[in-house]
């Protein structure tokens, strides 16, 4: 068996030991004689998985009693609609920070429900940066400020939460969720599709602060789209395999030093790549240095004629998933938590070799 150096943007690499554990217990989970995907989600075995995942997430993020954790489906894209459905009335305003394709999609949905103020946009710069606090044009009394903490396609990331003068943040954290500690009390909602940094596709993690939820709309929301429906109970069948794998990834994060350790390891991996990109003008980064992502490292060759050769040769060295998104071109190395430092080192070694 030869495992790839996997730089896929999503679904993405998961910690090897979580896959091995799942493989080992796949046919007979917890002595049940069945796989975890063949058991009732209301049975004792799965209820325990669900409980562990919530408990671990709460511990890892340091969530107080004032937060609810929901395991939903539909991806982050579903939250683009569900957030304003619950929190943005026709005469209310929300601020949205437009830093990429995903932010734009969130804005489009929000406009169906209420007033949207775009507090900042880097669209004219092909989303090559995120704003400083001083560049935000915020609305006084906004319901919330929505931002995308890491822009998966363009390779930019907020180094810290935007300053909003007390207005709750709503964050699409899909591609850097659990990659570093968060100041959780600044948030009304944090949502993330699991498939970038936390588990397999199919699970969407939503963390919601109770006092923020209180301010939501009270009626006119279809049952399954109302956050209140999902509090403290499984309204319908959850994505059981997703939660099961997520629980294993959480255990792996705890075993490996928690979010502080994830953050320093991710920063180190990113630095290895950016150092190589900046070494001379053979490669160039596609984003402003101060906005560079520690999750998705985007770069290109000065001579784009060589793009195909770069990808082909990389492939031969077992370096996979490096093709950049079509809206940026070039390359993208996605180096989420589970991407090993040695995979990044192998990529850097190849970049040197290719330059020679």
Which positions are annotated as active-site residues? 102, 172, 196
Distance separating the N- and C-terminal Cα atoms of the chain: 31
Q: Tokens for 111, please give them.
A: 């406009």
Minimum Å gap between C-beta 322 and ligand PLP is 17
- Can you give 98-161 as a three-state secondary structure string? ECCHHHHHHHHHHCCCCEEEEEEECHHHCCCCCCCHHHCCCCCCCCCEEEECEECCCCEECCCC
95 near ligand PLP, rule: CB under 6 A: no
Partner residues linked to 331 by β-bridges: 299, 323
Enumerate residues 97-126 that contact ligand PLP by CB under 6 A: 102
**Of 5, 10, 298, 319, which lies in the binding site for ligand PLP, with binding defined by CB under 6 A?**
10
Question: Shortest gap between Cβ of 108 and ligand PLP (angstroms)?
Answer: 13
Nearer CB in complex with ligand PLP: 86/174: 174
Window contacting ligand PLP (CB under 6 A); options: 14-22, 74-82, 300-308, 322-330: 74-82
Task: Write the DSSP symbol of residue 35.
Answer: -
Of these, 13, 39, 63, 76, which contacts ligand PLP (CB under 6 A)? 76
156 is in an annotated binding site: no
Report CA dihedral (350, 265, 294, 74) to the nearest 10 degrees: 110
Of 245 and 348, which CB lies nearer to ligand PLP in the complex structure? 245
Is residue 346 annotated as involved in ligand binding?
no
CA 226 to chain centroid: 22
Smaller CB separation from ligand PLP, 146 or 269: 146
- Give the pairing of strands 5-6 and 187-193: unpaired
| 172 is known to lie in a ligand binding site | yes
Please choose, out of 61-69, 75-83, 256-264, 268-276, the segment that lies near ligand PLP by the rule CB under 6 A: 75-83
Judged by CB under 6 A, which of 77, 117, 139, 318 binds ligand PLP?
A: 77
Bridge partners for 68 per DSSP: 208
**Residues forming a β-bridge with 147:** 171
Q: Is 308 exposed, middle or buried (0-12, 13-18, 19+ CB in 10 A)?
A: exposed
Q: By C-beta, is 75 or 330 nearer to ligand PLP? A: 75
Strand runs labelled E in the chain? 5-6, 67-72, 93-98, 115-121, 145-148, 150-151, 156-157, 169-172, 187-193, 204-209, 283-285, 296-301, 319-320, 331-334
Least distance from ligand PLP to the Cβ atom of residue 254, Å:
24
Classify residue 295 by burial, with Cβ atoms within 10 Å: 0-12, 13-18, 19+: buried
Contact between 172 and 149 (Cβ < 8 Å): yes
Residue nearest to ligand PLP (CB): 75
Binders of ligand PLP in range 151-210 (CB under 6 A)? 152, 172, 174-175, 193, 196
Q: Closest distance between ligand PLP and the C-beta of residue 316, in Å?
A: 28
Per CB under 6 A, which region of 73-81, 116-124, 261-269, 285-293 contacts ligand PLP? 73-81
- Contacts with ligand PLP: how many residues (CB under 6 A)? 12
Residue 347 CA to residue 7 CA, distance in Å, equals 10
* Residues flagged as binding site for pyridoxal 5'-phosphate: 76-77, 102, 152, 172, 195, 236-237
Annotated binding residues for L-glutamate, written as ranges, equal 42
Interface positions with ligand PLP (CB under 6 A): 10, 75-77, 102, 148, 152, 172, 174-175, 193, 196
């Amino acid at each position: 068996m030869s495992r790839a150096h996997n730089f896929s943007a999503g679904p993405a690499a998961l910690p090897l030991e979580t896959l091995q554990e799942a493989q080992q217990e796949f046919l007979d989970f917890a002595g049940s004689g069945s796989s975890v995907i063949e058991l009732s989600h209301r049975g004792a075995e799965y209820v325990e998985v669900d409980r562990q995942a919530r408990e671990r997430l709460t511990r890892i993020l340091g969530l107080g009693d004032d937060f609810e954790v929901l395991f939903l489906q539909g991806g982050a894209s579903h939250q683009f609609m569900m957030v304003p459905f619950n929190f943005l009335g026709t005469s209310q305003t929300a601020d949205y920070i437009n830093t990429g394709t995903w932010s734009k999609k969130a804005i489009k949905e929000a406009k169906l429900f209420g007033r949207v103020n775009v507090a900042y946009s880097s669209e004219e710069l092909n989303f090559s940066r995120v704003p400083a606090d001083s560049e935000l044009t915020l609305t006084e009394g906004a319901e919330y400020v929505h931002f995308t903490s890491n822009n998966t396609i363009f390779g930019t990331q907020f180094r810290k939460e935007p300053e909003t003068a007390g207005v709750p943040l709503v964050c699409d954290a899909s591609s850097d969720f659990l990659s570093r500690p968060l100041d959780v009390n600044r948030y009304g909602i944090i949502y993330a599709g699991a498939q970038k940094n936390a588990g397999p596709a199919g699970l969407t993690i939503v963390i919601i602060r109770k006092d923020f939820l209180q301010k939501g709309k009270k009626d006119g929301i279809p049952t399954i789209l109302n956050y209140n429906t999902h509090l403290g109970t499984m309204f319908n069948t959850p994505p059981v395999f997703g939660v099961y794998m997520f629980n294993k990834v959480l255990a792996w994060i705890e075993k490996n030093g928690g979010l502080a350790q994830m953050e320093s390891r991710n920063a180190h991996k990113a630095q290895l790549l950016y150092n190589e990109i900046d070494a001379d003008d053979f490669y160039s980064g596609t984003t402003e240095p101060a906005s560079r992502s520690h999750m998705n490292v985007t770069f290109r060759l000065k001579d784009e004629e060589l793009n195909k050769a770069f990808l082909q040769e990389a492939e031969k060295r077992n370096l996979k998933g490096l093709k950049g998104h079509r809206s940026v071109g070039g390359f993208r190395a996605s180096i989420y938590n589970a991407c090993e430092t040695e995979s990044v080192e192998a990529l850097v070694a190849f970049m040197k070799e290719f330059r020679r």
